[in-house]
A and B are shown apart, each in its own frame.
Chain A
Amino acid sequence: MTGFAEFVAARGTALLRTAYLTCGSVHEAEDVLQTALEKACRNWSRIDDRDPEPYVRRIIVNTVISRARRRAILRIIPTGSPPDRPAPSDDPVLRHVLMDGLRALPPRQRAVIVLRYWEDLTVSQTAEILGCSVGTVKSQAAKATARLRALLAEEATNAG
């Protein structure tokens, strides 16, 4: 298939990182990425004349959100899933606090943070991927950053 293998070789790891940050689990990130790439592969003849990355990224983010919704409904696993592995002990405290805070956010807020501040997408690009309004992206980003700031302040207080 023309271009598909090259696309995966070039952008696969970046997309895996986005998937991991959005869902918080390496195993699930790999599964979500594979699901998204399969869908892209089946539709490759229709999408390879334009940049396929936004299409795949959109599938990744929406798959993570819909799986989180399904888990919440069936009450199987809390939506703020723990990390797969403990972070190395020599990592700075700040990183732990921020990443723990990111994992604890509701799935859509986490997706907004990853798309806006990891992928550097604009508010309107983020809204398009999530299928919501620009206003919703702004309010979700504001709530999420406020929660992260509160966590940092709490950590500073505890450290002091």
Chain B
Amino acid sequence: MLDDLKAAMAAETAHLAVAPDLAERVERRAARKRWRTLLASLLVPLLAAVGWWLVPQVAGMSAVPADQVIDGVEVGYLPPGLTRVPVERETEDGYTSITGLWTTGGGKPFVDGGDGVAVSVYRGPRIENTRAWLESFGNGETREIAGHEGVYSTGMGVDTFFWVPKPGMNVMINTVGVDLERVVAGITVR
């Protein structure tokens, strides 16, 4: 069967080829990104300081509602108009994960054209705050957001950031149409 599978994969991909100017386009985009990264590295400490000061003022110092606590992680900031979707627990390759999902009207981001915030807490003995583990979990740029050193990526309208607040625990935030940095700044790990 494995020989058949390999033959099928070869036939399925035979028509694929990269564009002749791919390397040139990639080099141009990489050069632009270098400048953006440099600029961001200058602005991040300032924005983080403002965020740390601002979020407690806006969210208040009181405890968050019970439905804004995901497996020991408090979600201190959510924009108005989002509705909580029931929590699901899932297991993925040795991690236990639980996700809190808030969306416009309880609908599906993208499909309904609404906004959304997902806060996922992964637990597992292999999780550690090392570059190797972070890269194995997901790709993106190493970035500091609201004082957390983690991995940021964006695509298809979804902003993603994850970090390891302590060994054995990974927190991942996904936002659609919502300020990712404010959500991250509002996270407290109990």
Contact A118 B6 (CB under 8 A): yes
Contact B137 A1 (CB under 8 A): no
- How long is the Cα–Cα vector from A37 to B23 in the complex, in angstroms? 8
Chain A residues in 8 Å Cβ range of B61: none
Q: Closest chain A residue to B24 by CB distance? A: A5
Most buried by A among B111, B118, B132, B136: B136
Task: Evaluate whether A148 and B1 lie within 8 angstroms (CB atoms) in the complex, with A70-B160, A74-B101 already known.
Answer: yes
Does B58 sit within 8 A of A, measured CB to CB? no
- Chain B nearest CB from A106 CB (Å) reads 9
Does B109 sit within 8 A of A, measured CB to CB? yes
Number of interface residues of A (CB under 8 A): 58
CB contacts under 8 Å to B, within A24-66, are 26, 29, 31, 33-39, 41-42, 58-59, 62-63, 65-66
Contact B12 A99 (CB under 8 A): yes
> Could you name 28 residue pairs across A and B whose Cβ atoms are closer than 8 Å?
A5-B24, A13-B16, A13-B17, A16-B16, A17-B16, A29-B16, A33-B22, A34-B29, A38-B33, A42-B30, A62-B135, A62-B137, A67-B156, A69-B92, A70-B160, A74-B108, A74-B118, A74-B174, A75-B108, A76-B108, A87-B12, A94-B4, A118-B6, A131-B137, A132-B136, A145-B1, A145-B2, A148-B1
Taking beta carbons and an 8 Å cutoff, which residues of A are in contact with B?
1, 4-5, 7-9, 12-13, 16-17, 20-21, 26, 29, 31, 33-39, 41-42, 58-59, 62-63, 65-67, 69-70, 73-76, 87, 91, 94-95, 98-99, 102, 108, 113-114, 117-118, 130-132, 136, 140, 145, 148-149, 152
